[in-house]
Amino acid sequence: MIFANIMNIRWHEKNILCVIIIYMRKFKFKSVVALANIKLSVKSAAIVLASSTLISALLGLFRDRLLNSYYLGTYPTGIDAYTAAFTIPDFMFFILTSGALAVSFIPVFNQRLASGNKKSAWELSSSLINLLAILTLISSVLIMIFADPLIRYVVSPGLDESGMVLAINMTRVIAMNPFLFSIATVITSIQQAVGRFVFYAFAPAIYNIGIIIGITWFTGGINLFGIQIFEGGIMGVALGVILGAIMQLIVSLIGLFGLGMDYEFKIYWRNQGFRSILKLLPARSLDQGIDYINGIVNTNLSSRMGVGAVRSFNQASALHQMPVNLIGVAISTAFFPKLTEELGNGDKKEFNNTFRQALRTITWISLPVSIIAFFGRGYVTSFISNIGNNDSNGTIASILGTLCIAIFARSIFHIASRGFYAYQDTKTPFVVSIFAIGLTIAMSVWFYHLGWGVDGLGMSQSIGAIVEIIILLYILQKRSRGELLDKAFWRAIFRMIFATIVTGCVAFSMTKFIPLMVTDTSLVITIPKFLLITAISGTSYLLASYFLNLKEALPIFQYFKKILFRNIK
């Protein structure tokens, strides 16, 4: 039946995307998909993105807790190898696709749609899918071929021989990620460009589910019709990674329903929009690549700091990145189409207002999160590594403490960089990133030779992130002739800092009043304690913001006032 339906499709539509899209239209969930694909406002988009990021983050915590409980205490060499195996595939994805595509593709794609030139827009989309699929497929094959020297001499030379061999084998499995991720990224960027965020937002959560399946089922081996085709072990987690990438791609494809995409297996080299993106891509791609070189250096250095150091730094890095994604990435992504639209209409005054609003929102949220994360870092670490190995937990918590400033700085970075991308200027952030990453790497090597260990790597990340946003905001301010960040903005920032200091005092007092005990080995104990500390500290921040007349706090108080006095009214 399925084969018959596929054979009835017109010949020019017989490509993999069209077959999937056309056949899936026969299912009953068409109305559900249409509902999920409704164009969202900036506020709604930010809520959807933040909610989905939170769900993905919680799944990520559960994934890491499972993985660490299986291997961090019992097989640290294996989990170091698993962590190192992602380095080169992730690097190739970031340098070829990732954020480079989103910030370069969306403005150009939107211009085509706004002018009514849908044919050019779909030619552009098809060309990018096909070009990136070819490039990333080639890169995946090259990673498989050269995995041995890359791992042995570049990524993790400090691993012992058994860890080295395991990292090489897992790298070859995970090498398909750039290919699968790149296709999914173009597809979700199309949806993001037209203000449809639901499937784009929830695709990463599906990826985490795939890895969880790998941890819980594949590590025990795979049997097919009574025949064992895979023995299991930590290599099963690598198979789960590929499963998650495939599931993410499928979910992304479902999000194309209702868009009327006309995909063709062809690259339109003469399409002006495609040519524009090809001109914009190199600077942003190199920016992404240079940023990830920093990660390679950190993996290289941490592999020389003892067994488990690679995983510990990776876990602390992932924990500090979660609020960055939840705040900086989600809010910036929601605001970005509006910023590009306002500049496209030539309305710089509205662009400045929108940018200030986004920057103030991100700053107001990220400041208390950073300070609460610093004082509650022991609790946060216990969520993913509560395995009775206090040395490992203490190391991760210590690194996280040095990265808390980076939570604030990197959240700001995402809106600051998008300020340039809205102008279709990818070169300036690239140059600034070269300087900032170079400074970060230099400090990492210096701190390593000073004997500061993995904490030194975290310190260098925070310092580099602060320097980068200062330079980016300064250039944006100069470009706007001082109109972008006005006096009212800076007065608000100083009030936010004062409110954060109050919150820090409360958070510190609460961690002393409700300490994390060595016997606290269950989430049933640690989560309520952390939530109580967070709730009281967060309430103090809201009250301080309200009394300091910060407009970001007013809607929250109005909402609670409406609920509390609704019945009385």
Q: What is the pLDDT of residue 243?
A: 94
| Section 8-32 average pLDDT | 42
pLDDT greater at residue 238 or residue 259: 238
Instruction: Reply yes or no on whether the pLDDT at 412 is more than 90.
Output: yes
Q: Are 159 and 307 contacting, i.e. CB atoms less than 8 angstroms apart?
A: no
| Section 313-336 average pLDDT | 88
Q: What is the pLDDT of residue 471?
A: 96
Measured between alpha carbons, how far is 107 from 337 in angstroms, rounded to an integer?
8
Instruction: Reply yes or no on whether the pLDDT at 401 is more than 70.
Output: yes
Q: What is the pLDDT of residue 46?
A: 66
Q: Are 63 and 208 contacting, i.e. CB atoms less than 8 angstroms apart?
A: yes
Q: Of 350, 402, 62, 19, whose CA–CA distance to 216 is shortest?
A: 62
| Section 266-283 average pLDDT | 82
Q: What is the pLDDT of residue 340?
A: 84
| Section 290-318 average pLDDT | 89
Instruction: Reply yes or no on whether the pLDDT at 468 is more than 50.
Output: yes
| Section 8-14 average pLDDT | 37
Helices vs. strands in the chain: H and E counts, helices first: 23, 2
Please, which pLDDT band fits residue 20 given cuts at 50, 70 and 90? very low
Please, which pLDDT band fits residue 415 given cuts at 50, 70 and 90? very high
Q: Where are the domains of the chain?
A: 1-24+72-193+265-298
**Any idea which of 265-279, 281-295, 357-371 has the lowest mean pLDDT?**
281-295
Please state the length of the chain.
569
66-119, pLDDT tens digit by residue? 888 878 777 888 899 999 999 999 888 888 776 556 557 777 887 787 777 788
Q: Of 287, 289, 290, 301, whose CA–CA distance to 458 is shortest?
A: 301
Alpha-helical regions (H) of 72-152: 76-85, 87-96, 98-114, 118-149
Instruction: Reply yes or no on whether the pLDDT at 28 is more than 60.
Output: no
Instruction: Reply yes or no on whether the pLDDT at 32 is more than 60.
Output: no
| Residue 228: its H or E element | strand 227-230
Within 10 Å of residue 542's Cβ, how many Cβ atoms?
A: 18
158-209, pLDDT tens digit by residue? 999 999 999 999 999 999 999 999 898 888 888 877 777 777 777 788 999 9
Q: What is the pLDDT of residue 325?
A: 86
State both tokens at 96.
């070829």
| Section 304-315 average pLDDT | 90
- DSSP character string of 251-273: HHHHTTTTS-----S---TT-HH
Within 10 Å of residue 290's Cβ, how many Cβ atoms?
A: 18
pLDDT greater at residue 158 or residue 52: 158
Measured between alpha carbons, how far is 441 from 527 in angstroms, rounded to an integer?
36
Who's near 242: CB < 8 A, 6+ residues apart?
173, 174, 176, 177, 180, 210
Instruction: Reply yes or no on whether the pLDDT at 219 is more than 70.
Output: yes
Q: What is the pLDDT of residue 498?
A: 96
State both tokens at 299.
């993996």
Q: What is the pLDDT of residue 142?
A: 96
Report the percentage of the chain scoring pLDDT > 90. 40
pLDDT greater at residue 360 or residue 521: 360
Measured between alpha carbons, how far is 188 from 208 in angstroms, rounded to an integer?
17
124-138, pLDDT tens digit by residue? 888 988 998 999 999
Query: What string of H, E and C letters represents the secondary structure of 152-194?
Result: HHHHCCCCCHHHHHHHHHHHHHHCCHHHHHHHHHHHHHHHHHC
Measured between alpha carbons, how far is 304 from 138 in angstroms, rounded to an integer?
31
Mean predicted lDDT score pLDDT of the chain = 83
Q: What is the pLDDT of residue 3?
A: 34
Q: Are 110 and 101 contacting, i.e. CB atoms less than 8 angstroms apart?
A: no
341-351, pLDDT tens digit by residue? 888 777 788 88
Beta partners for 223? 228
Cα 284 versus chain centre, distance: 16
Q: Of 26, 427, 55, whose CA–CA distance to 207 is shortest?
A: 55
Type of residue numbered 29: F
Query: What string of H, E and C letters represents the secondary structure of 284-313?
Result: HHHHHHHHHHHHHHHHHHHCCCCCCHHHHH
Site of tokens 């062809």:
266
Q: What is the pLDDT of residue 99?
A: 53
Instruction: Reply yes or no on whether the pLDDT at 1 is more than 50.
Output: no
